[in-house]
Amino acid sequence: MTQPTESTAAGPSGGFLAEIKDAVTTRAALLVLGVLALQLAFITSYIGAFHHPRPSDIPIAVAAPLAPVAAQTAKQLGALPGDPLDPRTVKDEAAARVRIQNRDVDAALIIDPSGTIDRLLVAGGAGASLSQAVEEIVGLAEQSQGRTVRIVDVAPAAAGDGRGLSAFYLVVGWCVGGYLCAAILAISAGARPANSARAVIRLGALLVYAIVAGLLGAVIAGPVLGALPGSIAALWGLGTLVVFAVGAITLALQGLAGVVGIGLAILLVVVFGNPSAGGAYPYPLLPPFWSAIGPALPPGAGTYAARSIAYFGGNGAGGPMLVLAGWAVLGSAVTLACAIFRKGRPGAAVGSGLPDDAPSVPRFAGEGTAPR
């Protein structure tokens, strides 16, 4: 019996360079470069979004017993350098409170012409950094007029919701579960479903997971930790939609790009979605790019809706829920389309281009061997 030589046992001959070529394939090298690009995009996106928060066009209502006084004050606030505020007049304090509760404005200045102390209504549940920015801007403007403001939080964050960030972290957790569930389905059975039936099964499994994850997340954030008030059923529904939407778009990207689709999902949800979600800094404090894309991505839509459910009676949650539903429908449709297209592709055969989870062809005794 011939014994293997030392060079054969150790690997291909040709020295260390040949060993490197054998150990690191071209595909692996390209994937590593892709990871590097994803890492640099992560750094750029997060630092770009958070390194220099600047208020821009924060919607604020202005009310006074005399309409000309309110109009004059709104004009002065709108003329502040850098356009930090977007003021609009309302009839009275009651109307201002309704506008805040409906999430039409983020604050309201109630002027008292008979004195020098005005009231500033803020909503801490919409984000502590946003209410603090409004307090600082309006406080300085009032001080320049020889007046002061008294702060009234009409929608305060819960005692267990430090700086109003619990909604953001809850949604981030739901998003992580969505793309990890989809990734695990790909790892266990192949990045691309073999046919439309397999695609439906994956989407069904994802839906079951989303229902369970949505409920458990809502229970932990609500009754268990006391971080978020509001309807548990509404948060459950939101969580189910967030998890399924993120998972469905991940399945779709995997159907289009294979395992690379997982990286694309992370790029969309984590790299672009999380810093633009309005968590640490709500939209009026983010740079233009991030404030523009945030409402259209799952983390931003989910965070806004979660805060609306927790602190504003669900007001303003309709639009973000439609955004999430749109992602869910798009992801499901693309996942099914990819499976149907691959099934109907001419010349597809097992071992020569079928999806990764295509069923293997059984081998019978003696198949592929010469007759004895």
What CATH number did the domain enclosing 132 receive? 3.40.50
Are 131 and 189 found together in one domain?
A: no
Are 217 and 139 found together in one domain?
A: no
The amino acid that residue 294 corresponds to is G
More confident residue, 43 or 372: 43
Distance CA 104, CA 123 (A): 12
- Statement: residue 334 has pLDDT above 60: yes
Q: Residue 260's CB: how many other CB atoms inside 10 A? A: 15
Q: Is residue 254 part of a domain?
A: yes
Are 286 and 253 found together in one domain?
A: yes
Q: Where does a domain end: 88, 119, 153?
A: 153
Question: Which of the four pLDDT bands, split at 50, 70 and 90, describes residue 353?
Answer: very low
Residue showing tokens 């069923």: 359
Whether the Cβ atoms of residue 193 and residue 263 lie closer than 8 Å to each other? no
Question: Which of the four pLDDT bands, split at 50, 70 and 90, describes residue 54?
Answer: very high
Q: What's the confidence (pLDDT) of residue 342?
A: 75
Question: Which of the four pLDDT bands, split at 50, 70 and 90, describes residue 16?
Answer: confident
pLDDT, one tens digit per residue, over 263-279 is: 999 999 999 999 999 99
Q: What's the confidence (pLDDT) of residue 351?
A: 34
pLDDT, one tens digit per residue, over 123-134 is: 999 999 999 999
Chain centroid to Cα 342, Å, comes to 30
What's the whole-number mean pLDDT along residues 16-33? Answer: 80
What's the whole-number mean pLDDT along residues 106-120? Answer: 96
Q: Which residue(s) pair with 151 in the sheet? A: 120
Are 169 and 149 found together in one domain?
A: no
Are 102 and 130 found together in one domain?
A: yes
Stated as kind and residue range, the H or E segment containing 348 is none
Are 71 and 182 found together in one domain?
A: no
**In the chain, where do the E strands start and end?**
58-63, 85-89, 107-110, 117-122, 148-153
Distance CA 121, CA 100 (A): 9
Q: Where does a domain end: 105, 133, 153?
A: 153
Are 188 and 259 found together in one domain?
A: yes
Distance CA 278, CA 358 (A): 42
Q: Is residue 211 part of a domain?
A: yes
Residue showing tokens 């924060």: 58
Are 226 and 336 found together in one domain?
A: yes
Q: Is residue 51 part of a domain?
A: no
- Statement: residue 10 has pLDDT above 60: no
Number of residues that this document lists for the chain:
372
Are 98 and 196 found together in one domain?
A: no
Give residue 124's domain range. 58-153
Domain count, the chain: 2
Q: Is residue 96 part of a domain?
A: yes
Are 122 and 205 found together in one domain?
A: no
Are 220 and 172 found together in one domain?
A: yes
Token pair, residue 88, equals 């609009």
Whether the Cβ atoms of residue 71 and residue 89 lie closer than 8 Å to each other? yes
